[in-house]
Structure 1
Amino acid sequence: MPLEFRKIINQTRFHHPLKDFALTTVPNEIRFDPLTGQAVRIMSFRSMKLERHDWTPFVEESRRKFCPFCPPKMEKVTPRFPEDIVPGGRLQVGRAVVVPNLTPYELYSAVTIMSPEHYLSMPALTAEIISDSVCAALDFLKLAEAADPGGARYGSINWNYMPYSGGSLIHPHLQILSGPAPCRYDAGLIRCGREYLLQNGRNYWSDLINTEIKNNERYLGQTGNTHWLVTFAPRALCDVTAVMPEKTTINDLTRRDIDDLAAGLRKVIEFYDEINIASFNAALYLARREDEGFWVTARIVGRYTIFPLVGSDYSHLQVMHDEPWTLHIPEELTRQLKPRFN
């Protein structure tokens, strides 16, 4: 199947109580991921404005509690890798330090402590901090693969920023996973990318970039060789995708590539901060040399609470039906975010 941006626009009718019960038509959309076909939903209350969130009480409370990532505790209480995997027991790039995850959920599970500072606001997340942290995570993935080529075949680098994202600690950190098989979503990207290549004789990611540039509806621009676009079928709020052409494995990525990625992430994070998105998730997806049709991609999505004190941006649709929903029309988001990439 060739590349297709498929969507269904529904027109739901009801007598609206805020319009003197006039018969009103309210649109909503179902979009389908061009690669995987997964359905996502865009709700009609997408114009809702988020309130500015003050993390100060949470940060101060967390400072009073035990934080294993703060110096000097970090040296004493975080675990160390076996010497046959990581000589010296820990990895360091700049001020970023990689340690084992005390509660692992993959064969190889590690954490990059991004900075000695207990809390970094969005403006304080510099490109250098992001780049050093990702490079440290990549170094761990390479060492794990060298020590166990069969057990550390597929890796990913993941980021839960602040509690709305599912992060358990305020202290900024990345989650690193590596195991014999990819996670479910990663596996779908790899499988569908291979099928697209076999069916069309072309790389999906190349077609996606070229089509988005031509259509100029969701394409944002480049940081170095990395292309950025607002995701057609978003998984969550303000979903942005980065594509790194001709890169497939951890060994394909250079420091320059990671610097380019960090520069683009900075632009998106600055935008999130400006529109009061207080938290986010991000991931870097990687594959194997034999996974033809796959290019390294990153994705970042905003996380929030719908209403103060209670509410979540995850509902029955995601948890029980595996159908993401969000509030922003991607093309509207592009108009707001694109100037930062020009």
Structure 2
Amino acid sequence: MSIEFKKVVNKSSYLDPRKKFEPQTVETEIRWDPLTGKISRIFPFRNLILHRHDWTPFVEESKKRFCPFCPDVLETVTPKFTPDFAPEGRIKVGDAVAIPNLNPYEKYASVVVMSSRHYIPMEEIDVKLMVDSMQASLIYLQKALSYDPAGAAYSSINWNYMPYSGGSLVHPHLQVLAGAEPCTFDKQLLDSSAKYYQTEHGNYWSDLITAEKNNGDRYLGQTGGVHWVSAFAPRHVGEVIGILPGKQTINELTETDLAGFAAGLKNIINYYHSINIVSFNAAIYFAGAEDTGYSIHARIIGRFTIFPLVGSDITHMQVLHDDPWTVALPESIAEGLKKYF
């Protein structure tokens, strides 16, 4: 095992107008992701104090507009899968319904309508809702892989909750993708995992669990077979990674595994709600059978607005420099999260 938690602390000085222009020194950090080597910038001197956001006006406005996912119209206005792909037309598990994406951005793209409810407040998201939705997603991905093994070799399950995350509709839904090639970040994970396996003769993800347990600052706990850690070099505020060691493909995932992911995500969502992070992005990443050194894992990051309804939390650093940044130390996030596990 050779996992390095590398960071550099930088000090910047200025004359502070808040203290009669006396000299002031502040610290920031640059951290390197132990797997990919990508940097993350952390500004821990900023206090992440978010006010409770009331979605009610936005939700009420959305109800006045057409929503294709609501039960009174879903059967008539949403597309169906072709008979050779899914003879049933739509894939249903509990209250969740998987349908083709009218505007696909991958060869195989499904939207999973998670519930018949138009709006589900964060605190009311439950494990069954997530398990049923992920099960519908998994059935779709397995069908795609069986139907077109080369064209659906790489896949993911993705969730944009509420508008700050980039979600276009209030109605809760997942974006499920499969294609011949992995997405850019997914490929970095796959390539770096394979390189670690070749050089270290071990699985990075299993080694990471061991290293974080030994470190103690960021390891959160376990839900079923899934281990959760606060990301050392987060891609955004409050990033948490859930790792399922020993499994890497969609055909290895069981309903018990999905329940483990859902239970952990529920804990994190409850924590986000407690600190007024009202939106999030989440994803589950898979590998192909021929890949080496990989483990299925999930990531979730919090999303917020810097100023109510107008300030984006995505800046030039992410978009034009590909440098993630966050305003909260991962160790502080872990400290707050541990009681939820």
2:20 paired residue number: 20
Matches within 5 A, 1:253-332: 253-332=253-332
SS at match of 1:321: coil
Cα distance change on mapping 1:264 and 1:44 into 2, 3 Å: closer
Cα shift readout 1:65-120 (whole Å, capped 9, x = no counterpart): 00000011100100111111112110001100000111000000000000000000
1:243 paired residue number: 243
1:213 paired residue number: 213
Q: Give distance in 1, aligned partners of 2:179 and 2:323.
A: 26
**Structure 2 unaligned blocks of 5 or more:** none
Cα shift readout 1:245-270 (whole Å, capped 9, x = no counterpart): 10100011100000011000000000
Q: Is the aligned partner of 1:172 residue 2:205?
A: no
2:6 paired residue number: 6
2:72 paired residue number: 72
Q: Does the CA contact (< 8 Å) of 2:141 and 2:250 recur in 1?
A: yes
Q: Does the CA contact (< 8 Å) of 1:155 and 1:178 recur in 2?
A: yes
* RMSD (Å) for aligned C-alpha atoms: 0.9
Q: Is the aligned partner of 1:50 residue 2:50?
A: yes
Q: Give distance in 1, aligned partners of 2:140 and 2:224.
A: 25
Amino-acid identity (%):
53
2:144 paired residue number: 144
Q: Give distance in 2, aligned partners of 1:46 and 1:183.
A: 32
SS at match of 1:25: strand
Q: CA deviation at 1:45?
A: 4.2
The amino acid across from 1:130 in the alignment is M
Cα shift readout 1:154-192 (whole Å, capped 9, x = no counterpart): 110000000000000000000000000110111110000
Cα shift readout 1:48-79 (whole Å, capped 9, x = no counterpart): 30011100001000000000000111001001
Instruction: Point out the more displaced range, 42-51 or 284-293.
Output: 42-51
The amino acid across from 1:265 in the alignment is L
Q: Give distance in 1, aligned partners of 2:312 and 2:4.
A: 31
The amino acid across from 2:163 in the alignment is P
Cα shift readout 1:317-342 (whole Å, capped 9, x = no counterpart): 0000100111110011111101111x
Q: Does the CA contact (< 8 Å) of 2:69 and 2:116 recur in 1?
A: yes
Q: Give distance in 2, aligned partners of 1:186 and 1:87.
A: 31
2:200 paired residue number: 200
The amino acid across from 1:168 in the alignment is S
TM-score after normalising by structure 2: 0.99
Q: Is the aligned partner of 1:91 residue 2:77?
A: no
Q: Does the CA contact (< 8 Å) of 1:229 and 1:240 recur in 2?
A: yes
SS at match of 2:238: strand
Q: Is the aligned partner of 1:187 residue 2:172?
A: no
TM-score after normalising by structure 1: 0.98
2:103 paired residue number: 103
Q: Give distance in 2, aligned partners of 1:285 and 1:140.
A: 15
Q: Give distance in 2, aligned partners of 1:44 and 1:100.
A: 42
**Structure 1 unaligned blocks of 5 or more:** none
Q: Give distance in 1, aligned partners of 2:305 and 2:292.
A: 39
Q: Does the CA contact (< 8 Å) of 2:27 and 2:45 recur in 1?
A: no
Cα shift readout 1:191-235 (whole Å, capped 9, x = no counterpart): 000000100111101110001001101000000111000000001
Q: Give distance in 2, aligned partners of 1:12 and 1:45.
A: 12
SS at match of 1:116: coil
1:231 paired residue number: 231
Q: Give distance in 1, aligned partners of 2:24 and 2:48.
A: 19
Q: Does the CA contact (< 8 Å) of 2:44 and 2:329 recur in 1?
A: no
Instruction: Point out the more displaced range, 102-111 or 83-92.
Output: 83-92
Q: CA deviation at 1:21?
A: 1.0
SS at match of 2:268: helix
Q: CA deviation at 1:123?
A: 1.3
Q: Does the CA contact (< 8 Å) of 2:42 and 2:329 recur in 1?
A: yes
Q: Give distance in 1, aligned partners of 2:67 and 2:320.
A: 34
How many residue pairs are counted as aligned between the two chains? Answer: 341
Q: CA deviation at 1:26?
A: 0.5
Q: CA deviation at 1:309?
A: 3.2
Q: Does the CA contact (< 8 Å) of 1:46 and 1:326 recur in 2?
A: no
